[in-house]
Amino acid sequence: MTRVEIDGVERAYGAVKVLKGIHLDIEPGEFVVLLGPSGCGKSTLLASIAGLDPVQGGEIRFDGRDVARDEPSDREIGMVFQSYALYPTMTVRKNMSFALRVAGMAKPEIDERVNWAAGVLQIEPLLERKPAALSGGQRQRVAIGRALVRKAKVFLFDEPLSNLDAKLRGEMRAEIKALHEKLQTTFIYVTHDQIEAMTLATRIAVMSGGEIQQFGTPDEIYRFPQTRFVADFIGAPSMNFVDAVLRVEGGRASLEMGQVRVELDDYAFAAPPRDGQPVIFGTRPERITLQGDPSPGAIPARVTGVEPMGADTLVWLDTDGHRWSARVSPEEANALGREVHARPDPQGISLFEPESERRL
């Protein structure tokens, strides 16, 4: 169990800043997922934590000790790569024991550790095979095993499941989660798959353009996105947005969108709202109910497409030029005409400041 503190880490390739002063405070034994679009610097941050890429500024502390200038091997980490990076000419057993043999560990101890790791990962029957004779999922296990035998204090994963097919990915996801529960070690895991992030993480760090946009539990990230980017990036289909104006009358806040007014009695404002303030209004597809008749607080819309997904149905809407989606039950979807009214659930509203795009 190691606390990992990342304090103002900076990294640039020439003039291009890839990490712009990252701060993350990771509790001992946490499972932190770094999530973000391609090219946002996730791998670079992970490589900096591993010590594979030098950082140009800031500190990385493991249990209070600054390791930012240490060699990767001195950081007591284990790392699993996207391409597995197994040593192809060695058997599984040799792959797992190579580092220990080079370090000059006694043979009985090596055997004990390899057998223990093979037991944890259930790869005992594969020990004498070479990587070429393994499936993707088995290779992944061996790659994890190689980190396990070294009794790493922090485990780093760089998109470990992206080379697997969907079914196997689901299974391995569950196994990695079980492994974390068993080992109780600190895990840092890079992915651009939201489902992976949501299901695995104790906390998610959403990254964009070399900055951390939000660091919080999956629930916080989903329900209370702190920036418009996070709101847009998390969730599929993403949040629906529209420009609106705030009205404050007699201590009660409401939202004005053309003719429509939405009451905001339950909204927890970060700063006191001002009357006439422009905002971006956002609501998730499953927080919308569709009805045929107009009513106060419902936004008129035209149905442009219906996508049955089995458990529920996605209805695509055109609300005065904005493309929205609503997730409704199949029965509700069948009852809809072309012209509908979309009523957002007051509990599921997010408001953003148009300039800074931060949550209000």
> Which residue ranges make up the site for ligand ATP (CB under 6 A)?
13, 16, 18, 36, 38-44, 192
Report the SS3 class of residue 275. Answer: coil
Cα within 13 Å of Cα(7), Cβ side:
12
Q: Helix, strand, or coil here: 41?
A: coil
Q: With CB under 8 A, what is the number of residues at the site for other proteins? A: 27
Please identify the residue of the shown chain whose CB is closest to the bound ligand ATP: 43
- Is residue 102 part of the contact set for other proteins (CB under 8 A)? yes
Concatenated DSSP letters for 77-96? Answer: EEEE-TT----TTS-HHHHH
Of 56, 83, 122, 329, which lies in the binding site for other proteins, with binding defined by CB under 8 A? 83
CB 8 within 8 A of CB 21: yes
Token pair 């290779």 is found at 139
Contact with Mg ion (CB under 5 A) among 43, 194, 214, 319? 43
Structure tokens at 18: 């890839």
258 CB contacts (<8 Å, ≥6 apart)?
A: 320
Answer yes or no: are the C-beta atoms of 59 and 8 closer than 8 Å.
Answer: yes
Q: Minimum distance from CB of 49 to other proteins (Å)?
A: 11
Strands 31-35 and 203-208: parallel
- # chain residues binding Mg ion, by CB under 5 A: 1
Nearer Cβ to other proteins, position 88 or 305?
Answer: 88
Asked if 99 is part of the footprint of other proteins (rule: CB under 8 A), the reply reads: yes
Applying CB under 5 A, does 44 fall inside the site for Mg ion? no
| 153 touches other proteins by CB under 8 A | no
The smaller minimum CB distance to Mg ion, of residues 38 and 295, is found at: 38
Q: How far apart are CA 225 and CA 227, in angstroms?
A: 6
39, 54, 88, 294: which one binds other proteins (CB under 8 A): 88
Query: Which residues lie across from 306 on neighbouring strands?
Result: 315
Interacting residue with other proteins among 146, 169, 203, 284 (CB under 8 A): 146
Among 29, 87, 235, 316, binds other proteins (CB under 8 A): 87
Helix (H, G, I), strand (E, B) or coil at 340: strand
Residues in contact with other proteins by CB under 8 A are 47, 50-52, 71-74, 77-79, 81-83, 85-90, 98-99, 102-103, 146-147, 150
Residues in contact with Mg ion by CB under 5 A are 43
